[in-house]
Amino acid sequence: MGATIVEKIFSGNCGKEIRAGEVVMAPLDGAMIHDITGPLAIQKFYEMGGSRVFDPERIIMLFDHQIPADSIEAAQNHVYMRTFAAEQQIHNYDINEGVCHQVVLEKGRAAPGEIVVGADSHTCMYGAVGAFATGIGSTDMGFALKFGALYFKVPETIRAEVSGRFPNRVGAKDLILAIAADIGADGATYKAIEFTGRTISKMGIPGRMTCCNMAIEMGAKAGIVAPDTITWEYMKCRRKMKPFVVRSDRDADFAERRSYDVSDLEPQVAIPHNVDTAVPVSKVAGTHVDQVFLGSCTNGRFEDLKEAALVLGKKKFNPEVRVIVIPASRDEYLKTLRAGLVERFVKAGALVEAPCCGPCMGGSFGLLAPGEVSLSTSNRNFRGRQGSTDAKVYLCSPATAAASAITGVITDPREVR
Amino acid sequence: MMTNRKPASAREAFAGMSRIGTTARAWKFGDDIDTDAIIPGRFLTINNPDELALHAFEGTRDEFAKKVREGDVVVGGRNFGCGSSREHAPLALLGSGVRIVVAQSFARIFFRNSINVGLLPVVCHDTGKIADGAKIRLNAKEGYIEADGKRYAVEPVPDFMQGIVDAGGLVPYAKGLKKVPVCTKSRR
């Protein structure tokens, strides 16, 4: 019987053969903390008797949820974390680099075959480069900071095999929304999802990030794409590593296999108030929107903003729609700027903000009033996620977000000329 | 809101259910209760359980923070605690005096966070039969929950987490440890 990529990563890191279902205390290659869950993690680290972190070079700190500080309390949390970083000699990117998950990958802090944890549920995004990465709470992070290791129950793997060529203006976000609707909000609980197949082989790292990012929306412990030439090309300028092969064996024991064909996939929209509710855009077309958010760790990369800009062309956004565009990181911002897209978005009527989580988590800015509707390229549409519990959040791709921002109602991006 | 709410450990919660006895009420929620519903994002600058408790389920069920009593039990459906990894969610419940959450299933991170902070997540497949406001108590020893006089079986905590439950959470569990038994090959 062969092994899954997840079993192989744990076996490789633990130096012995490990199978799904086993509980191991595995060494960590990296740990990420941010401004929301970080203060509690540090507190727990000290409560556990921690004095020095296991390895400052394997820890990354940054602030992205409430930046620049939007309250005195947030500012105090930032100060607390800065002090800890200085004391422990941890690299702190502070408010300067952007959304945590994007930054971790850009800075090469997660790599193929590694085990990485983050005190944020969307840490599963690092699977885009073939790492086993999972979100943990603050107490587990306190433990991880102290010991450089954590208990894992090695998960079984759901193999999602994707084939077909995406139709025009349909992409990774539409795929993952469709997969989430198929698997369900708890369909992958305690499991990993491996994305594979010809469509994934051809998909760039940004699209793979979008897919792996949303594995948690099915309850998964991790999303992962086996490293290939695209992965190693991405890693080249980020880490000194010799490419190697780590992938699931054909006869691995998968929890289940599911296959998807994107050839006829329509743009998808997840309707309030759950993520696993995607319907073809035609089903909700015409729904009035008050705010459109283009950004987040899910869809705030240059490729996403370019996709939106292609739909926008020289047109203007509907003046009755508040359009908020937030590149996911400084690098993505610069790419967007250099391509002239920031000017295009601004001229069309959007607010282009500096890299941060923005309205996604409903804490900092861009909150919704009761009765308002947001269309968002982010990852969650829970009731109250972006402000009032009487507001509604729909999730979609960058192309659908742009099309709808132009018309003021949910619109199929293929219908915008 | 009760004052003088000292967060007890899950172990004490287990042992002390007879003390809480039939005065505890069930707060019934549905499926897919996410951590944004338990504690909205705008309150995450708060790290203190008692302060978080003032906003527990705000906007979702406002009466909860006002009326919840020490020892009350939150009862959910499937996938309780899905979404964000925020530990503020189990802390807000602990701060509210809740020591036990019963649900048909839990989201992974919430389950683990709860055990780590000393809130006991209990899996019971019959929570659909438990009414909001029911008088509820847990008999962990015999493995059932009793709601309005009816008994429903509960699942035991996974073996490898029992040590953490017994210690009262991951902090007391880890406190005395100098090192942990890492399974590892030689590192680079």
Is residue A385 over pLDDT 90? yes
Residues of B in Cβ contact (< 8 Å) with A43: 47
pTM for this prediction: 0.95
Please indicate, yes or no, if residue B148 is contained in any of the structural domains: yes
Closest CB to B85 among A39, A119, A142: A119
Quick one: DSSP state of residue B82? Answer: B
Domain A5-242+253-261 class, CATH top level: alpha beta
Size of interface A-B (CB pairs under 8 A): 162
In chain A, domain spans: 5-242+253-261, 268-415
- Chain A: nearest CA to B100, how far in angstroms? 18
Question: Is the distance from CB of A228 to CB of A244 less than 8 angstroms?
Answer: no
Question: Is the distance from CB of A289 to CB of A411 less than 8 angstroms?
Answer: no
One-letter amino acid at A257 equals R
Please indicate, yes or no, if residue B2 is contained in any of the structural domains: no
Please indicate, yes or no, if residue B45 is contained in any of the structural domains: yes
Residues of A in Cβ contact (< 8 Å) with B92: none
Residue B55 sits in which domain range? Answer: 10-175
Question: Is the distance from CB of A379 to CB of A395 less than 8 angstroms?
Answer: yes
Please indicate, yes or no, if residue B67 is contained in any of the structural domains: yes
State the complex-level ipTM. Answer: 0.94
For residue B43, what is the nearest residue in chain A, using CA coordinates?
Answer: A363
Coil/strand/helix, residue B47: coil
Q: What is the pLDDT of residues A160-186, one digit of tens each?
A: 999 999 999 999 999 999 999 999 999
Closest CB to B107 among A12, A189, A367: A189
Name the domain count of chain B: 1
B165 and A CB contact within 8 Å: no
Q: Which pLDDT belongs to residue B185?
A: 56
Percent of chain A whose predicted confidence (pLDDT) is above 90: 99
Please indicate, yes or no, if residue B156 is contained in any of the structural domains: yes
Please indicate, yes or no, if residue B135 is contained in any of the structural domains: yes
- Angle between helix axes A172-183 and A205-213 (nearest 10 degrees) is 30
B169 and A CB contact within 8 Å: yes
For residue B38, what is the nearest residue in chain A, using CA coordinates?
Answer: A384
Give the strand pairing for A30-34 and A115-118: parallel
Q: Which pLDDT belongs to residue B5?
A: 39
H helix or E strand, kind and range, residue B173: helix B170-175
B187 and A CB contact within 8 Å: yes
Question: Is the distance from CB of B180 to CB of A50 less than 8 angstroms?
Answer: no
Please indicate, yes or no, if residue B3 is contained in any of the structural domains: no
User: In the CATH scheme, what is the code of domain A268-415?
Assistant: 3.30.499.10
Q: What is the pLDDT of residues A24-60, one digit of tens each?
A: 999 999 999 999 999 999 999 999 999 999 999 999 9
Q: What is the pLDDT of residues A271-324, one digit of tens each?
A: 999 999 999 999 999 999 999 999 999 999 999 999 999 999 999 999 999 999
Is residue B186 over pLDDT 70? no
Question: Is the distance from CB of A402 to CB of A309 less than 8 angstroms?
Answer: yes
Question: Is the distance from CB of A355 to CB of A329 less than 8 angstroms?
Answer: yes
Mean confidence (pLDDT) of chain A: 97
Q: Which pLDDT belongs to residue A305?
A: 98
Structure tokens at A140: 């587990």
Is residue B132 over pLDDT 70? yes
For residue A75, what is the nearest residue in chain B, using CA coordinates?
Answer: B45
CATH code where residue B93 lies: 3.20.19.10
Q: What is the pLDDT of residues A351-369, one digit of tens each?
A: 999 999 999 988 889 999 9
Q: What is the pLDDT of residues B86-122, one digit of tens each?
A: 999 999 999 999 999 999 999 999 999 999 999 999 9
For residue A152, what is the nearest residue in chain B, using CA coordinates?
Answer: B160
Percent of chain B whose predicted confidence (pLDDT) is above 70: 86
Please indicate, yes or no, if residue B4 is contained in any of the structural domains: no
Asked, colleague to colleague, whether A5-242+253-261 and A268-415 share their fold, the answer is yes
Chain centre to alpha carbon of residue B168: 12
Q: What is the pLDDT of residues A97-146, one digit of tens each?
A: 999 999 999 999 999 999 999 999 999 999 999 999 999 999 999 999 99
